[in-house]
Amino acid sequence: MTLRPRDPLLLAARVVTLIGMSLAALVASVTFIATPAVVVMRDMILRELAANGDCAALSASTPYAIALILLLISAMATCAFLFQRHLLRIIDSVGQGDPFRPDNAIRLAAMGWLTLAIEALSAPVCAIGQWVAGQVQDATSEFGIDMSGVLLALILFVLARVFREGARMREDLEGTV
């Protein structure tokens, strides 16, 4: 992979994407590791919440709900990592001067599906978060529908078609020369 040396935009996009991938991997790892820890330490968590008076109507299933939230967040962060890995590969192909390739169309479509997966996973995270917030005093959870993720997915699906068509047109043009 050789980036065009005088394209600071691609370099900046690459650096930001690599940082985002690192953060997503960190979040996915930490939340995945914390999930069984919360289940194993559930009695201690319940005791601490009760001792601090932080419980409004504490349930024995509260730690399990927290563990489920952590597991879903880990899945969301994994999707974000995969999304950014596809983005990095697209950035690299642009840097090589060859963006209209069939594999970039596939990557864009995959990015659209990953965006929808993140949106789908956010609904149960918010719903369970609302329930946990009702269990623990001074805990908050906001629940709302954000259509920006759905809009992003639609844009990515359209761009995938544009790239697929661009790749087809390029192949047709190469065949006529």
pLDDT in tens, 5-41: 578 999 999 999 999 999 999 999 999 999 999 999 9
What residues contact 91, with CB distance under 8 A and at least 6 apart? 10, 13, 14, 17
pLDDT in tens, 103-120: 999 999 999 999 999 999
Whether pLDDT at 155 is above 90: yes
- Averaged over 49-70, what is the pLDDT? 80
Using a pLDDT cut of 70, give the percent of the chain over it.
88
Q: Which amino acid is at 45?
A: I
Give the residue among 138, 128, 127 at the shortest CA–CA distance from 56. 138
Counting beta carbons within 10 angstroms of the beta carbon of residue 142, is it exposed (0 to 12), middle (13 to 18) or buried (19 or more)? exposed
Counting beta carbons within 10 angstroms of the beta carbon of residue 3, is it exposed (0 to 12), middle (13 to 18) or buried (19 or more)? middle
Whether pLDDT at 50 is above 80: no
